[in-house]
Structure 1
Amino acid sequence: MSDPTMSRGDAPGANQPDADVAIEEPAAASPEQGAAAEDAVATASGPGGGGEVPPPSKWLTMLNQIATGNAIISVLAVLLALIVGAIMIAFTDEGVQETIGYFFARPGDTFAAIWDSVAGAYSALFQGSIYNFRRDTFLAGIRPLTETLTFATPLIAGGLGVALTFRVGMFNIGGRGQMLIAASVAGWIAFGFDLPWGVHMLVALLGGIVGGALWAGIAGVLKARTGAHEVILTIMLNYVAFYLVSWMLRTPGLLQAPGSSNPKTPAMKETAVFPYLLGPQYNLHFGFVLAVLATVLVWWILSRSSLGFKFRAVGINPNAARVAGINVKGMYVYAFLISGALLGLAGVSQVLGTVTSGFTAGIDAGIGFDAITVALLGRSTPWGTFAAGILFGAFKAGGFSMQAAEGVPIEIVLVVQSLIVLFIAAPPLVRTIFGLPDPEGRKKRTRKNVTKEAKAQ
């Protein structure tokens, strides 16, 4: 076989050593020596052929941290999902489909139709979720923003509950069941008792939060005592809660409205309903304030309390946490209790703030599962989850406007939400598309240390 180091112009057999001359093979280098030699070559190839090179500027360092951070992945995942959503909007538009038939004759018509469909849809999304420029007054124009915050209220609370268990290394998939139990308890107190204003609302609120916490605590205790997987436990508890609430809604004397054959509760009494924040002309209610306070509370627990330190330690390595003296089983129970309380707050917000005329078994409205998406998009951080909840609230509020104004199927908004999760779950894909650096790559040592290592070899 020919020598791989031989140039293309060398003839076979040319410049070969004599047969009786021993060829000394170089000694194999250790991995440490190879890494040092690689860094030394990189140092020698720098300006001037060697020597120390000044470290990068703080602006370059900051940009590199942003490019390799998790926050940029969330932002780009949303951007990619909107791009894919725009493609779907264009292909489902009847005007675009009509112009595609004569694309090669007049391609400009097709591009104009695509622009009109996509721009119209996303303009309707903005006007339905942030500000409606078609309204006569500013107070009427900001009504979509209040709708976004109203939709975001249970999403924020539920997302915080799911994010908390994520930080402890667990998955709470039982948001639906915990919301249903909390809504049932809060609703039963709200329509079944006569209490003074303020006290009635507080009792119903606390009752719902305790109900959600205890229902989630079942999964926490079973995981801590038996080692059962929390995903299976919470999923099964969803079914138990749904059919239990459905039965109570069909049973007179429990949750069913008196004299009615429909599986629906009576209307909530006014003394228990959350007050409006901006007046009755807006749907935004006191539940949003509770969601903000819950965000601050979760931030304090995770960042400033000893309990949060134990949560994070268990989430990183439960075995090491156990060796350090942390009661891992207790942390599992505490985490599920707090998570269930937060998801219970989401259920209470639905009953006392949104659906005050009575509710059915569909009171959760899919929020228990949407909360998982919100927690993922928020990177399981309190304020990230808060922002993600507002974003998904905007999708919910603006999606109806897109459907009404532009005829865009509401399912496209659901597809965009699903794509956000897909892209967040695949950070290498997002980095590859946008050419971002890999944060897992080996960090280069400083040129000063490399120079010393090269001289020592």
Structure 2
Amino acid sequence: MEMLRKIFSKSSILIPLVAIILGLIVGAIAMLAGGYNPILAYSSLLDKLFSTPYNLGEAIRAITPLIFTGLAVSFAFRTGLFNIGVEGQFVMGMTGATIIGVLLDLPWYIHAPLAIITGAVFGGLWAGIAGYLKAKRGVNEVISSIMLNWIALFLSNFIVAKFLVEKGQQKSMTVHESAMVKIDWLIKLTDNARMHWGTIIAIVCVIVFYIVLWRTKQGYELRAVGHNPDAALYAGMNVNVTMVKSMFISGVFAGLGGVFEILGVFGNQTVMAASPGYGFDGIAVALLGGNTPIGVLLGAVLFGGLSYGSAGMSFGAGVPPEVVRIVIGAVIFFVASHGLVKWFLKPFLNKRASKRKEAA
């Protein structure tokens, strides 16, 4: 409960909230400079998100992978590692799920769980490579994980094109229906939006993140190694194993994000010219969420909502989607610039401090 109180404390909520408002203001200024109406643009964005059950369902679908990648980045960061290779782990999760979904034909109660677990393990193992290099060879995980992003992309393309490809197409064969994880009743409720079990599992992962890090002995060791590896080693903890374990768990979160894009949304994997981008957006989500599980969930809702709603800004107000990226970039800038946000909040904070003195 102490952790939850910290998450929902005034200071932890106020700074991201002010950062979001400042980001929206910067976006409005950019629109005005381009000759667009910011009020119409933002109202069109909200209309796109909430106008129909289909749009709401698709917005939730767009938010789901960002929860997974945000959790992946946050988990590693909480344990003293910067996992910038979430993009590659996401892609490997897609590939693992596609392999099982295409090549095997099993009963649904075996096929779908096996595909999910395989994709998660693929993502975990891919992150584990960077963790192993860090633990055994001292290789900076930022460098190794960035390089592994590209290796994952091209390895995935090779596997799809060589072993899984649909003849005459630049994509894999369709995953068997027994491996798909769509929620039929929710799809009907949202007018055929692509709703799937990944959204529910993402919420479960938010809870698991909190329990593992703050309610288990293993989580204490993970955080201890992240705070001070030398002190953790002196206390008898196996620092090297803990680093690899931390990266593996982080990769599992990222891999799950890729799994549900295949099994819940697309049903096949294409030969990609570039990575999907969810891993890099996950860094922004984690930053906005303060590397807390609830914060990541809320950050994913904001980023996913802005990304999906940008189409409404384009059609309703003629604003190009790139302006949404300006808003997101501005929000990230203000979240990262705590000193600048606190400068905006200084009059309010000083007033509150003076009231406390008077009350004392």
Q: TM-score, normalised by structure 2?
A: 0.90
Structure 1 equivalent of residue 129 of structure 2: 218
Structure 1: state its 5+ residue gaps: 1-61, 95-116, 133-140, 449-457
The match for 2:176 is 269
Report the Cα distance in structure 2 between the residues aligned to 1:202 and 1:270, rounded to whole angstroms: 13
CA–CA distance in 1 between the matches of 2:195 and 2:134? 38
2:161·2:172 contact (CA, 8 Å) conserved in 1? no
Task: Identify the residue that residue 29 of structure 2 maps to in structure 1.
Answer: 87
Q: Which residue of 1 aligns with 2:266?
A: 355
The letter of the residue matching 1:143 is Y
Q: Which whole-Å CA distance do the structure 1 matches of 2:274 and 2:104 have between them?
A: 21
Task: For residue 164 of structure 2, give the secondary structure of its aligned residue in structure 1.
Answer: coil
Q: Within 5 A, what are the aligned runs for 1:362-381? A: 364-381=275-292
Q: CA deviation at 1:386?
A: 1.0
What SS is found at the alignment partner of 1:430? helix
CA distance in 2, matches of 1:76, 1:316: 28
Q: Which residue of 1 aligns with 2:206?
A: 295
- Asked if structure 1 preserves the Cα contact closer than 8 Å seen for 2:85 and 2:279, the reply is yes
Deviation track 1:27-72 (CA, whole Å, cap 9, x = no partner) reads xxxxxxxxxxxxxxxxxxxxxxxxxxxxxxxxxxx9xx956x2331
Q: Which residue of structure 1 aligns with residue 186 of structure 2?
A: 278
- The Cα RMSD (Å) is 2.3
Q: What's the CA shift for 1:437?
A: 4.3
Structure 2 matches for 1:129-168, cutoff 5 A?
A: 129=49, 131-132=50-51, 141-168=52-79
| Closer/same/farther in 2, CA of residues 357 and 244 from structure 1, 3 Å limit | closer
2:171 aligned with 1:255: no
Distance (whole Å) between structure 2 residues aligned to residue 221 and residue 370 of structure 1: 25
CA contact (8 A) 1:127 1:144 kept: no
- In the alignment, the residues of structure 1 paired with residue 275 and residue 293 of structure 2 have an alpha-carbon distance, to the nearest angstrom, of 22
What is the 5 A alignment of 1:380-391?
380-391=291-302
Q: Please report the TM-score for the alignment, with normalisation by the length of structure 1.
A: 0.71
- 1:236 Cα shift? 0.6
Q: Measure, in 1, the Cα distance between the counterparts of 2:343 and 2:132.
A: 43
CA contact (8 A) 1:351 1:359 kept: no
Partner of 1:73: 15
Distance, in Å, in 2 between the alignment partners of 1:425 and 1:227 is 28
- The separation in 2 between residues aligned to 1:313 and 1:358, in whole angstroms, is 39
The structure with the greater share of residues assigned to helix is 2
Cα distance in structure 2, aligned partners of 1:71 and 1:316 = 24
Q: If you compute each CA radius of gyration, which structure gives the higher value, 1 or 2?
A: 1
Alpha-carbon distance between aligned partners in 2 of 1:273 and 1:334, rounded to the nearest angstrom: 29
Question: Which amino acid is 2:239 matched to?
Answer: V
Deviation of 1:188 after TM superposition, in Å, equals: 1.4
The CA distance in 1 between the partners of 2:109 and 2:315, in whole Å, is: 38
* Deviation, structure 1 residue 364: 4.8
Q: CA deviation at 1:144?
A: 2.5
- Offset, 1:246: 2.2
**For 2:121 and 2:141, how far apart are their aligned partners in 1?**
20
Does the aligned pair in 1 maintain the 2:221–2:237 contact within 8 Å?
yes
| Residue 401 of structure 1 pairs with residue 321 of structure 2 | no
CA distance in 2, matches of 1:172, 1:278: 34
- Distance between the aligned counterparts of 1:358 and 1:228, measured in 2? 32
The equivalences for 1:174-213 within 5 A come to 174-213=85-124
| Aligned mates of 2:116, 2:150 — CA distance in 1 | 24
**2:143 paired residue number:** 232
State the identity as a percent. Answer: 36
The CA deviation at 1:359 is 2.7
Distance across 2 between alignment mates of 1:363 and 1:307: 36
The equivalent residue for 1:121 is 41
CA distance in 1, matches of 2:264, 2:35: 37
Amino acid at match of 1:256: V
1:15 corresponding residue in structure 2: none
Q: Which amino acid aligns with 1:272?
A: A
Quote how far apart the aligned CAs of 1:145 are.
2.3
Aligned residues: 344
Q: Deviations over 1:160-206 (max 9, x none)?
A: 01100110111001111111111111111112211112321111111
